[in-house]
Structure 1
Amino acid sequence: MRKLVVIIALLSATICCNAQKYTTATVKNITNSFIATLMQGNLQGTLNFFDPDYVAEQHDSFLEGRTEQFVSEFLAGSYKKGFYFVTPQLNRIKSMKVKKTCCNLEKDEIYADVEILMDYGVKYTVRLEMRITEYGDLRFIGAVG
């Protein structure tokens, strides 16, 4: 019985350490790397920042591999208090920067929220979500369908 308690304690400690290895600074760094890759025009490279299951379902299956549409729809948002909805043409994005990051240890699947301020002729904020994959990597996820 004592061995079982020790094993459970060790497993719990391992899971906690794994979940807490990502901080708001890490989330910001990952997001800035995604932004840099996108602004360089490397659309294929941006796919590395997404959860592989999300890419398989949304990009590969639903959108039949249309990477530009996948990334553009991922960055869609509204401005002027939700009156206008924008799905940006990626080559017209003037700038992007991280506005706010937040790690959420309490949520089941969603681990981090990121707000990006995007200048597309008009400035608007996009809220992105990240989660830890089954391999322990922190990646972006989005809506499917």
Structure 2
Amino acid sequence: MARITVQEQDFDPGAELAALTDGRRDIGAAVSFVGLVRDIHGGDQVSALTLDHYPGMTERELEKIADEAAGRWPLDDVRIVHRVGRMLPGEKIVLVITLSAHRRAAFEACDFIMDFLKTRAPFWKREETPKGDHWVTAKASDDADADRWNQS
């Protein structure tokens, strides 16, 4: 069911959504999330972000996350597009689209996928700042967001 793509090139969220929904009459909700590169992180100016990944392992983990969401909510489809490589502020990093007959399932599944994508998917971020390049460390707030799904 899930369609996973990890790529260097940019993507068009509208085209991705249209590819999933055009002509469909069985869905009542399509929820999408687009993550963007910020120009400030932790008070530092960011001139670029580079995302590295582990090919093969990354796609398998994204599939597992999407499958887990489909096991929790009645989803009709999931689309994840995640970029890797060097990106500038304002560029798109990630797209998650969830389709369901019901809005609540689509919203919650999209939120769930993003929480676990941030904590379980094997991506590594390096920021370019005036102070030099540095790797971005995991945040406790991301872990707390993911942990809330274990309680429900």
TM (normalized to structure 2)? 0.27
- Of Structure 1 and Structure 2, the greater strand share is in 2
- Of Structure 1 and Structure 2, the greater helix share is in 1
TM (normalized to structure 1)? 0.28
Q: Kindly indicate whether structure 1 or structure 2 has the higher relative contact order, using CA contacts under 8 Å at least 6 residues apart.
A: 2
